[in-house]
Amino acid sequence: MTGSTDSAGRVAIVTGGSRGIGRAVSERLARDGAAVVVNYAGGTAAARETVAAITAAGGRALPVQADVADEDAVAAMFDRAEGEFGGVDVVVHSAGRMALSTIADLDLGELDALHRTNIRGSFVVARQAARRLRRGGAFVGMSTSVVGTQFPAYGAYAASKGAVEAMLLVLARELRGRDVTVNAVAPGPTATDLFLDGKTPEQIEELSRIPPLERLGTPEDIANVVSFLAGPQGHWVNGQTLRANGGLV
């Protein structure tokens, strides 16, 4: 494959790796030289398409289905990565769920489902990563810039991602002596299906003008940041939340 060789010989697991930001991350890490386990929850066709795109370009990839909140399924996914590729060096936890509602009107069942994926899922994946990442490895989790911008209707989502940030910054300190970095990336408005769903063209246009760069981010913008944090060039960055958002607060 063409591109950087910073991750040549390394093995990456990307949760939610078949769509949106996760797919862009999977493809970028493969271009960097990593073998990639493309995790997905239910979209088998999308996962196979992502793997096919990576292998067609000369990379190595494997689709693995797992519910990120299921500790047994996640452990089995790590087992598969180790069995197929020999170990795990990078974990990018991109799987997530979003529910938009005012706090007053939020369905609490939706809140529970969101927290199961975003909070419990992050803990389950991070726990396995903490146990299994090899020296020189990296864990990159996904937060959101809404934690700082506090847009209305994002209360439940921002709360779940604030929990992710807090957990990962603690984990970075718990891994002292392991030579493993832990960071979070907090995208701003990014043109993914998850973000665009339910928004009118007028709302999308308005949101695209909010960053000083006056556009929506792309999945590739976020993948570039993840590539830096996951590779040797970003290994001095640890215990941080990087807000990749075009200049939002």
Answer whether 19's CB lies under 8 Å from 193's CB.
Answer: yes
Euclidean distance between CA atoms 130 and 171, whole angstroms? 8
Q: Which of 8, 28, 37 is nearest to 129 (CA)?
A: 37
Phi/psi of residue 139, each to 5°? Answer: -115, 130
How crowded is residue 227: how many other Cβ atoms within 10 Å of its Cβ? 25
- Active-site residue, selected from the candidate residues 78, 85, 157, 228: 157
157 among known catalytic residues: yes
Q: Name beta bridge partners: 92.
A: 14, 140
The DSSP code sequence of 163-197 is HHHHHHHHHHHHTTTS--EEEEE---SB-SHHHHT
Residue count of the chain, please give it: 249
How crowded is residue 4: how many other Cβ atoms within 10 Å of its Cβ? 16
Eight-state DSSP code of residue 178: S
For the purposes of burial, counting CB atoms within 10 Å of the CB of 153, is it exposed (0-12), middle (13-18) or buried (19 or more)?
Answer: middle
C-alpha distances (whole Å) from 110 to each of 41, 57, 106, 118 are 18, 39, 7, 12
The dihedral of CA 82, 137, 188, 122: what is its sign?
A: positive
Q: Which residues are catalytic?
A: 157
